Amino acid sequence: MRTLVRVALSLAACVWAVSAQAQSYPTKPIRMVVSIAAGSVTDVIMRAAAAELQTRLGQPLVIENIGGAAGILGGRACGQAPGDGYTICIIYHSTMSFNPLLFSNLPYNADDLVPVARLFFLVEGLFVSSALNVNSVADLKTLAQSKPTGLNYATLGEGSYPDLFMKWMNNQWGTKIVGIPYRGGGPAAQAVAANDVQVTRFGVGNFVGVIQAGKVKALAVSSAKRSPVLPDVPTFAEVGWGDYPGQGWWGLAAPKGTPPAAVARLSAEFQKLFSDPKFVQFLDKQAVVAAPTTPEGFVAFLQEDRKSAETLIRIANTKKTEFKE
């Protein structure tokens, strides 16, 4: 009995210590690494989140955009940062699920990044330049098959989600659309609008402005129902792509060694914000779906997401290669 009492008191002391540390953290500004270019929809969301969280945390969150290479550069910056609670990382499906399966020499270990909270799912779309005489997925297929080497496709780099979708589409259609890397959805949207590249799949929020300007057309969206942002655009299921695996997401991680008290505080505050009705309304306008989780929920989700990544990589017929910066 005395042993049980000592164990109970010890556990209570640990819980109290973590709680006390969580309440005192943070005591200085927090660096937030965002693994995509400034101006992309995720960057817009995280800047709005940083402004809200400064009040809640009592310290500013200083954003550092490190885009490119399918999230590898951002993953490296996160993996190399000290695990002291003062660097946090906005990561996505490529960082945690796809890159470890696609590259043999990553400059970071995805399993060393501490899951803090999943934040949101992307509503993605297939977009084409208005310079093309294309008004549907069927039109794009006909055009691509008639000139199999004449089209370019914006990606986030080799092995990124847009890149894998392009490879899958090429395999389905027997075409050779060429991938061109960009550091984020914002730059990709501008490239499609300028007809520097002709087609891509990215988060809808990046493309609303260029669609409204008449420079880009949306052919399909990845959501289960038609997006209220683009109500006249069919879903992937409606155009015959309903069985395509996986969905783009973004979440929060921290470097290995980050104190549990910091992880707990950060996760709690991000969960509260991404569940707040006013902030969710803002997210709806960015064409993303709020989906905050606990650290444990994020871990469980990642296990399933990696299975989806394996399936997608297999059907895209993509082999593991050496990463070259």
With cut-offs at 50, 70 and 90, classify the pLDDT of residue 223.
Answer: confident
pLDDT of the residue at 1: 43
Flag whether pLDDT at 161 surpasses 70: yes
Residues sharing a CB contact under 8 Å with residue 151, sequence separation 6 or more, in sequence order: 143, 144, 175, 177, 178, 198, 199
Distance CA 55, CA 53 (A): 5
Domains of the chain plus CATH, in order, are 28-122+247-315 (3.40.190.150), 124-221 (3.40.190.10)
Q: Assess contact for 130 and 215: CB atoms under 8 A.
A: yes
Flag whether pLDDT at 22 surpasses 70: no
Strands 87-92 and 114-122, by their bridges, are unpaired
pLDDT digits (tens, 9 = 90+) for 81-103: 999 999 999 999 999 999 999 99
pLDDT digits (tens, 9 = 90+) for 237-287: 999 988 787 789 999 999 999 999 999 999 999 999 999 999 999 999 999
Q: Assess contact for 167 and 317: CB atoms under 8 A.
A: yes
Which residues are paired to 114 by β-bridges? 254
Distance CA 246, CA 302 (A): 12
Flag whether pLDDT at 4 surpasses 70: no
pLDDT of the residue at 2: 47
pLDDT of the residue at 21: 55
Taking residues 46-75, what's their average pLDDT? Answer: 96
Q: What is the pTM of this model?
A: 0.85
